Every structure is written in C-alpha cells, then in structure tokens.
A = this chain, B = another copy of it.
C-alpha cells in the first residue's frame, strides 16, 4: 500500500534506511553473503523496491562505502585539533589503525575489496573537505608535520611521505584482517607488530632528534 508522493527529504530518508540496513548486514556477514532480498527485508521493503533507490547492488555498496569514508573522516577529525604537528601525526595514524581493526569489515569494504573506482566528479564525498575526506586530512597532517621539520631533510615530498606511511599502516591492518587466523603464520602479538611498525616508520622518516 503505497502512501504516495514522498518529499525528496522522505526519499532521502528511505535511501539512508536502505544504506543502514545494508551496512549492518555487510559488516556482519560480508558483502558477498548479503542478498538484496535480505537488505530489503531488513528495511521492510520488497527486494525490487531497492532498485528504485539504487540502480544495482554495486551502487548500493558504493554509497555505503562513501558514507563510511565520511564517517572515518569524522572519526579522525578529533585528532586534527592537536596543536603539536608531530603528536597530531602520531595520533592520526593510531586512530586510523584503531578504526581499521575495530571495524574490520568496514575497512575491508573501503580499502580491501575491488569496487568501482571512486570518481570525485560523482562522489557524495566532497574532496578536500576536511569533514569528509580522510585522504586530504592525511595529506594535511603530514604536510604540516613536514613544515614543522620533523622529517629527515632528504625527504622533500610530503605527499610521497604520506602515501608511504599510509601503505605501511594499511599493510599492517590488511594482513591482520585477512590472515590473522591463518595457522600457517606464527604471528607476533598485534600490539608488538603495531609498535614495531610505528617504530620503523619513525626511525625511517624522522630526524634523529625527533624521537626519544
């Protein structure tokens, strides 16, 4: 029974309701295991109605991921107010890893599964908006630390530094998320690996005087 004519606000509400249901299921069961029918049931619609709001499952996933990237940015935002550039950088990294490891399925969705590349022209995320764009936060955090002179003088490109640190931290998180339960590997405790990675990055990137 369709109680007709929805304001665009109401339509938006349905959209986000669908996204919330989808995210909930994605997170607990993994993207592939979740069916459109299951999402629909969760949100109280028939399966085909989802297609009135999202053109297909990929687009639904893309929308959820975009929203989560914004959430990540929101979560990281708290560290941006730290005044000391070095401390800000360190806390930013720690928050990132913490987010990844406490929300492994979020993280997997965002950075570890192939999906349509994120096109800034059509994304719901505003690029370079610090409220939404975690990557631009990273670039800024590293750049300001760089201006503060914490990095080795041979390192002249803050963006390259940022991408390197990101890769290192991503590797830590990704292996943990995907292979932590693999009996093949005699994993050292996660805490030890995190500490070792941070230590390697600091010694590898910063001036001697900066650490310890």
Contacts and interface: CB of A to CB of B under 8 A. Distances in A.
A112 B111 CA distance: 10
How many protomers of this protein does the assembly include? Answer: 2
Q: Which of A127, A166, A199, A203 has the most CB of B within 10 A?
A: A203
A181 to B, nearest CB: 5
Contacts of A113: 178
A210 to B, nearest CB: 13
Interface residues of A, number: 52
A167 B168 contact: yes
Interface of A: 30, 32, 108, 111-114, 117-121, 123, 127, 135, 152, 157, 159-161, 163-164, 166-172, 174-175, 178-179, 181-188, 192-193, 196-197, 199-205
